[in-house]
Amino acid sequence: MLLEPELRSRLDRLALASRGRIRGAWGGRHRSRRLGESLDFADYREYFPGDDYRRIDYNLWARLGVVLIRLFEAEDELPLRVLVDTSQSMDFGDKFPTAQRLSAMVAYLALASGERVQVASVPGEDSPRIQGPWVRHTGSWPVVESFLESLQPGGGTDLRAAANHVAAATGLRGASVLVSDLLTEGWEQAIDLLGVSGSGVVLQVISPLELDPDLTGDLTLRDVETRQEVPVSVSDGAVDRYRERVRGFIDEVANRSRRSGLDHVLAVAQPGVLDQTLAALVSSGVAR
Amino acid sequence: MSLLVPGALALLSLAIPLLVLYMLRSRRQRFEVPSVMLWSGEEEFVSAAVPWQRLKITAALLLQLLALAAFAFLLSRPFFEEETLLGPHTVMIIDTSGSMGMENRLDTAKARAIELSAEASDAQLISVVSGGPSPRVLAAFSRDPEGLRTAIESLSVTGGSDELGEALRLARGLATPDRPTTILFLGDGGIPGSVTEPVTNALHVPFDDTGDNVAITGFGAGAGAGETRMFLEVTSYSNKPESVTAELEVDGLSVGSVDVDLDPGQRSQKAIAVEAGPGQVVTVALRDHVDSLPLDDSSAAVLSGSAEVSVAVLGEGSRFLDALLGSISGVRDAAGLPPDVVIIDRDDASIVDRPAWIIAPETPPPGVEVIGVLEFPVITYQRSGEPILEGIDLADLAIAEAQIVNAPGWLSLLRAGEIPLILLGEVDGQRAIYLTFDLTRSNLPVQVSFPILGSRLIDWLGGSRVTTASTAPAGTPIPLVTPQGSTARVTLPDGSRRDLVEGLLTFNAATLPGVYRVEYVAEDGTIVPGPVAARQFVASESTGETRTIAVVDEGTQAAETSQLLREWAPFIAALLLAIVLLEWWVAYGRPMPARRGEGEAAT
């Protein structure tokens, strides 16, 4: 069970918010880029044969002598794509379980808001992209949950390809959530592409041991993804410099996300991370 | 600094393997991390083919090298030579003569002795000898600083002269055959002639603080014209004029005082008539006077009752002799009867059949040979501590001519160089006093002390020792006549009491100046009064003069005993322990994050 009933009941009381107009395939609760059938007046235009004569504004016609019809806003659903990084680097400490639960939390929040949700893994060079079905309503939650539970970490990461896939999806301008440690090449382009495709959130999952490593002495560090080995002498000074680089990296991700129109939330894989992340989402206006 | 085991420094070569160990490339552990992206910049070049690496100077390496150096240094047993007066066995003779009371010389000497005893190592033995008028061993072959301190602190200033010769004999008796013995004499040098110099294998540690002093250098009793006359001599050893008032008491009751004005170095003699009789104690003290030597600011004398002595003068005689005999209580003219004492004045002394006072005889008595004449002899020696001369200073004695005599076995009381002027001895078993000069050709009869001297001479010749026993220099034993079944108890001048063991014939600890009262305690508790004795501060000690005792062979003995080897081992061991603890703290105790996870050994 990825989400406890108590957390799900809290999520039931929240709704996913969108920034700006969206373009969804189905009607929903979010203002759409197109005109539609809602009760919110949008504009007038000249009548053309074939238009629904029930929309003719007879008052204007009588006063101005011009036949105009009333146009109304459309409200679409917010299609949400959740991209879960399943690379080997996520298999460190509690990073991947945390990523699973964060993905589940965001997905459930969208389902509870009546949105369509699709969960997909981030493909790698040697791993295929796995994506679940588009689902809607909380009744589909077991499908999402079982899909997330079926994911296993391993292989490499190609964030750029995953983001490109989202951006290339035609006809839909929704939201996307990237759950990843972003410790891979091309993370900058991935964020840019996600920003182009719509609003979204970057949930950067970091292990506490990545923030503050407890290594010392002469070591050979091996990258679990690339198998690259780096001999280092982990001294006090080296650890201090590493911490500075980590902080700089997180700041750089946050700035890049902000410039791309995305929200950035740092999720440290430790107890209480779901509550902290949810609070951050609420405070940033992603959920309300 | 030197080393007892220099070869141990070879252990320093262990630094080489230690450095080699540090230069060997360590086996790196391999750790998997999510990404090495954030470790970029920390890579270091590692050549797998070379097992060496550049030596890294770390705190641990420095501390280990330091610990190794300290360990090697410790095993090499460094030592330093410390200058010390102590030898393997040191006998300290501490002078307690009267002059050591000046400016607290004795306290300084005692402090120095205690300091030396505290410096002694466990391998050094120390003996302590009291070097006063009655030398005695206070501690022998001791390693106990506290015991030595107690023995040394028990010493106090006496009123007598030091018997350095006797003290040296005691010290040499303590010499140990298995270890060199160093004799340290801590004192002001005593009086010349108290020891045969130069002294061998001894060191003199002088104490020569001096100060102004006014002393009672003579106090004795004489009789004349039916009254008792007290002879008082006050001498100034100050550098400034002094005015003192000497107050006399008889049995504790004041009987008068006399003012004395003294220029620097001046001696003043007074004859004071007092109403006192035999057995009474007359004391004199300088009233309201403070100087550097308080012990000689008072004196006491016990008036004695001499037995009647008949005296006959043979030879020329003189009015001085007549006046003298007339002034001495208990002396009567023999009036043609066989006298108790005969005075042979410039006459034939070849036959002496009774105690005789022989004055510049034409024919010397048997055992004495006149070998020449000395004109205008200069007094150079007056026997110290002699009861007959106590309180009498004959330094100003002027003599026109004196016989040069060879008198083996006679005791010189007064000398001019090696020429005796007054001798004591025996002729055919009879006591005899020999004056080598004519009284009428000297100024002795006009000296204030002449009646005292004459009285004592007649007393001595008459066989009476009462006077000298009752009033004598400090240190002179007090004779005891303890009744059968009784014990003697002595009350000392300081008020303390000593109960003596039964059978003692003398009380030898009369070293303090003052009045000693003896009483005999019978078995049933009955107390019978005994003799009263006065012991006077020896006048020669009042000068406070110091001198350095000549020693020889000092270098030979000192070369072995004055250098004490002290090892640095305790300090180095402590330093080594500190280094090891610091190294441990640097290696393991410093607050550092523990290494996490299991590593995979790299090749």
Identify the weakest region by mean pLDDT among A158-162, A238-242, B49-53, B265-269: B49-53
Parent domain of A38: 28-76
Q: Is residue A288 part of a domain?
A: no
**Residue B211 predicted with pLDDT over 50:** yes
| Strands B381-382 and B411-416, sheet pairing | antiparallel
**Residue spans of alpha helices (H) in chain A:** 5-12, 58-64, 95-112, 141-150, 159-167, 187-197, 208-211, 236-259, 273-283
Beta-bridged to residue A166, according to DSSP, are none
Of B36, B596, B599, the CB nearest to A228: B36
User: How confident is the model over A74-80, as a mean pLDDT?
Assistant: 78
Verify whether the Cβ–Cβ distance A215 to B595 is below 8 Å: yes
Is B593 an interface residue toward A (CB < 8 Å)? yes
Can you tell me the distance from the alpha carbon of B534 to that of B283, in angstroms, rounded to the nearest whole number? Answer: 9
Q: Which of helix, strand or coil describes residue B383?
A: coil
CATH of the domain at A156: 3.40.50.410
Interface list for chain A against chain B, based on CB atoms closer than 8 Å: 89-90, 92, 95, 181, 183-184, 207, 209-210, 212-226, 228-234, 236, 238-239, 241-242, 245-246, 249
CB environment A3-24: b (16+ within 10 A), e (fewer) = beeebbebbeebbbbbeeebbb
Q: How many CA atoms lie within 13 A of A202 on its CB side?
A: 31
Express each pLDDT in B416-466 by its tens digit.
988 999 998 888 878 899 999 999 999 999 888 888 889 888 888 876 433
Whole-number Å distance between alpha carbons of B104 and B200: 28
Contacts of A46 (CB under 8 A, 6+ apart): A66, A67, A68, A69
**Domain total in chain A:** 2
Q: Report the sign of the C-alpha dihedral through residues B68, B69, B70, B71, in that order.
A: positive
Same domain, A84 and A58: no
Q: Find the mean pLDDT for residues B310-330.
A: 87
Whether A287 is in a domain gets the answer no
Tell me if ipTM is over 0.95: no
Residue B439 DSSP class: G
The amino acid sitting at B278 is P
**Whose CA is closest to A122, among A50, A177, A75?**
A177
Residue A23 lies in a domain: no
* Contact: A230, B32; criterion CB under 8 Å: no
Q: Which of A208-222, A254-268, B99-113, B182-196 shows the lowest mean pLDDT across its residues? A: B182-196
Question: Helix, strand, coil % (nearest 5) of chain A?
Answer: 40, 30, 30
Assess contact for B368 and B338: CB atoms under 8 A: no
> Rounded to a whole number, what is the distance in Å from the CA of B582 to chain A's nearest CA?
19
Is residue A132 located within the same domain as residue A91? yes
Same domain? A69 vs A116: no
Do A187 and A218 share a domain, yes or no? yes
User: Is there a domain that residue A275 lies in?
Assistant: yes
Q: Does B58 touch chain A (CB under 8 A)?
A: no
Average pLDDT of the segment spanning A100-112: 93
Last residue of a domain, one of A76, A93, A111: A76
If you count residue pairs, one on A and one on B, with CB atoms under 8 Å apart, how many are there? 105
Report the pLDDT averaged over residues B294-316. Answer: 83
Which of 3.30.420.130, 3.40.50.880, 3.20.20.70, 2.40.50.140 is the CATH number of B309-463? 3.40.50.880
What pLDDT shows up at residue B440? 92
pLDDT tens digit string along B88-122? 888 999 999 888 988 889 999 999 999 888 888 77
* Mean of per-residue pLDDT scores for chain A: 86
A240 and A259 inside one domain: yes
Which numeric CATH code is attached to B214-302? 2.60.40.10
Report whether B78 contacts B18 (CB < 8 A). Answer: no
Domain ranges of chain B: 2-81+567-601, 85-210+544-561, 214-302, 309-463, 471-535
Question: Quick check: do B85-210+544-561 and B309-463 share a fold?
Answer: yes
Kindly report the number of other CB atoms within 10 A of residue B88's CB atom. 16
Q: What is the pLDDT of residues A177-193, one digit of tens each?
A: 999 999 888 899 999 98
Contacts of A160 (CB under 8 A, 6+ apart): A186, A189, A190, A193
The amino acid sitting at B434 is Y
For B180-235, the three-class secondary structure string (H helix, E strand, C coil) is CEEEEEEECCCCCCCCCCCEECEEEEECCCCCCCEEEEEEEEEEECCEEEEEEEEE
A187 Cα distance to chain centroid: 14
**Does B592 score more than 60 pLDDT?**
no
| Residues A215 and A231 grouped into a single domain | yes
Instruction: Mark whether A90 and A145 lie in a shared domain.
Output: yes
Residues A54 and A179 in one domain: no
- In the predicted structure, residue B247 carries a pLDDT above the cut 70: yes
DSSP string, A96-137: HHHHHHHHHHHHHHHHHTT-EEEEEEPPBTTB---B---EES
Q: Are A270 and A256 within one domain?
A: yes
User: Which residue do the tokens 């330094």 mark?
Assistant: B395
Calpha distance B602→A285 (Å, rounded): 50
Assigned domain for A18 exists: no
**Final residue belonging to a domain, choices A39, A58, A76:** A76
Contacting residues of B for A216, CB less than 8 Å apart = 592-593, 595
CATH classification of B85-210+544-561 is 3.40.50.410, yes or no?
A: yes
8 Å CB contact of B34 and A89: yes
Rama region for A169: left / alpha / beta (φ>0; ψ in -120 to 50; rest): beta
Q: Which is more confident, A248 or B179?
A: A248
A32: CB partners within 8 A, 6+ apart: A21, A22, A23, A24, A73, A74, A75, A76
Residue A20 lies in a domain: no
Residues of B in contact with A246 (CB under 8 A): 38
Mean pLDDT is lowest, of A262-266, B230-234, B313-317, B383-387, for: B383-387
Residue B59 backbone dihedrals phi, psi, to 5 degrees: -65, -40
Is residue A22 a part of any domain in this protein? no
Q: Could you tell me the pLDDT band of residue B601, with boundaries at 50, 70 and 90?
A: very low
Can you give the pLDDT at residue B169? 86
| Residues sharing a CB contact under 8 Å with residue B113, sequence separation 6 or more, in sequence order | B92, B94, B128, B148, B152, B186
End-of-domain residue from the set A56, A76, A96: A76
CA dist B298 and B294 (Å) reads 8
* Same-domain status, A199 and A99: yes
Residue A201 domain-assigned (yes or no): yes
Asked whether residue A156 falls in the same domain as residue A33, the answer is no
> Same structural domain for residues A89 and A166?
yes
Three-state secondary-structure class, residue B465: coil
- Cα A205 to Cα A7, A67, A91, B265, B299: the distances in Å are 20, 58, 11, 108, 108
